[in-house]
Structure 1
Amino acid sequence: MKATERLLLENKAWVQEKLDQDPHFLDHLRQERNCEIFWIGCSDSRVHADEITNSAPGEILVHRNTGNQVCHFDFNLLGALEYAVHVLKVEHVIVCGHYHCRGVKAAMAKPLTDLTFANKWLKQIKDVYRLHRREIDAAGDEKQRWDRLVELNVIEQVHNLAHTQIVQRAWNNSRQPLLHGWVYGLNDGVIKELISLTPDVQLDPLYQYDLE
């Protein structure tokens, strides 16, 4: 059986299982939901926001990319962020990375041969490594260095969020959202918070928009 055929069969089994548990499952799913959380996570197939937080469908609006990055040239992310913040009025934006992130590990080495666009994307994480190289290289063995870059990458992406006009305008108008940087452990399944930024955070003037 092809992998795609298996997925279609599993989908039917999943629907039936849900309906057996709750005959009104699809009715609930069609109802409008007011998400309170916008989640920026990694594309890694082992890390799903709903599953690792035990959340129901519709509770979390999710955007995923390699290395859970917040890049100011990524119109896909910025469009989703703008919708979440200014239309849905989410109360929290979470950047969640994970240990054993292969994108982060690849960024610690030389560019991958013949992968033009992957190299361009990973450059942003390479910049995080370069900025914090002394701390990362002093962290210990290869795994400890890798783990520390995962954490620092999350922290940098949260600051990147705070540097967007989208977030700063929302802070100016409604004092929302709160920004969080989390990291998920594949070894223990536990999420821990690395950083949290509120509208009162003092930003470097270089990144402040004049919104008055």
Structure 2
Amino acid sequence: MCAKTIETKDITYAGLLEGNKDWVKDMIQTDPAFFDKLSAGQAPPVLWIGCSDSRVPANQITNTRPGDIFVHRNIANVVVHTDMNLLSVLDYSINVLKVKHVIVCGHYGCGGVKAALGNKQVGIIDNWLRNIRDVYRVHESELSGITDETQKFDRLVELNAIEGAANVTNTSIVQNAWANGQELSVHAWVYSLKTGIIKDLEVTCTGIEGVPAAFKVSL
């Protein structure tokens, strides 16, 4: 028996607008009050910091609906303390939306991480990828001991997510929330494009005690 071929839909500009109408129709059929509730406001319990890769949509892979997850995405789900875009999202989600979970989710096969493993110039993104190369530098002893290139690639994807989650906890935004008694957990995940399964890297941090002394801020 031949395997079923998955056909890729031909995406056009007009097709996007038609697709929107179809989606609205489907949502109203499922829940006539859906858009009334959605327009009333948002109170998502989760902030998702993920990769811009089109194959890793937060809602679809977690089986959640619009309004359930507040999302920030960039190339290779990088978290750095100089990124005012990300910090603004983090501040708003924690101090206004009062999210209970911040998830940094990478994905195996990430093009940004793969590019950071090599020395070939890509363009202006090379400056952004330096953040991932810093992750490699910090964990060089472990990574240099991995001879299989695919395994090394996968491990750097994991370490990038772990370091990203650590950088979230190192912010004064998160530490102030904990100091004020706010319930907040920070997690690192990795998603597999091959299986569709999310791997919890089990590095959850729920309080200031998980922050290294060098990054603890005076409150």
Match of 2:64 among 55, 61, 73: 55
User: Following the alignment from structure 1 to structure 2, what is the Cα–Cα distance between the partners of residues 203 and 57?
Assistant: 32
Structure 1 position 19, deviation (Å): 2.1
- After TM superposition, list the pairs within 5 Å mapping 1:37-52 onto structure 2: 37-52=46-61
- After TM superposition, list the pairs within 5 Å mapping 1:72-83 onto structure 2: 72-83=81-92
Match of 2:190 among 183, 188, 191: 183
**Are the structure 2 counterparts of residues 19 and 209 from structure 1 closer, same or farther at C-alpha, using a change threshold of 3 Å?**
same
Residue in 2 aligned with 1:167? Answer: 174
Residue in 2 aligned with 1:134? Answer: 141
Does structure 1 conserve the Cα–Cα contact (< 8 Å) formed by 2:175 and 2:208?
no
User: TM-score, length-normalised on structure 2?
Assistant: 0.90
Which string of whole-angstrom CA distances, capped at 9 and with x for unpartnered residues, describes residues 159-185 of structure 1?
101111111111111243111001111
Which string of whole-angstrom CA distances, capped at 9 and with x for unpartnered residues, describes residues 103-125 of structure 1?
10001011524x12x11111000
Amino acid at match of 1:77: L
User: Following the alignment from structure 1 to structure 2, what is the Cα–Cα distance between the partners of residues 178 and 191?
Assistant: 18
Match of 1:155 among 162, 181, 191: 162
Residue in 2 aligned with 1:205? Answer: 213
Residue in 1 aligned with 2:4? Answer: none
| Runs of 5+ consecutive residues of structure 1 not aligned to the other structure | none
User: Following the alignment from structure 1 to structure 2, what is the Cα–Cα distance between the partners of residues 140 and 20?
Assistant: 53
User: Following the alignment from structure 1 to structure 2, what is the Cα–Cα distance between the partners of residues 15 and 6?
Assistant: 14
Does structure 2 conserve the Cα–Cα contact (< 8 Å) formed by 1:42 and 1:97?
yes
Structure 1 position 133, deviation (Å): 2.0
Does structure 2 conserve the Cα–Cα contact (< 8 Å) formed by 1:35 and 1:59?
yes
User: Following the alignment from structure 2 to structure 1, what is the Cα–Cα distance between the partners of residues 82 and 185?
Assistant: 22
User: Following the alignment from structure 1 to structure 2, what is the Cα–Cα distance between the partners of residues 130 and 170?
Assistant: 31
Residue in 1 aligned with 2:29? Answer: 20
User: Following the alignment from structure 1 to structure 2, what is the Cα–Cα distance between the partners of residues 16 and 203?
Assistant: 47
Find the residue that maps to 1:197 and give its secondary structure: coil
In the alignment, structure 1 residue 124 sits paired with structure 2 residue 131: yes
In the alignment, structure 1 residue 11 sits paired with structure 2 residue 17: no
Find the residue that maps to 1:183 and give its secondary structure: strand
**Are the structure 2 counterparts of residues 175 and 11 from structure 1 closer, same or farther at C-alpha, using a change threshold of 3 Å?**
closer
Find the residue that maps to 2:73 and give its secondary structure: strand
Number of residue pairs matched by the alignment: 209
Structure 1 position 2, deviation (Å): 7.0
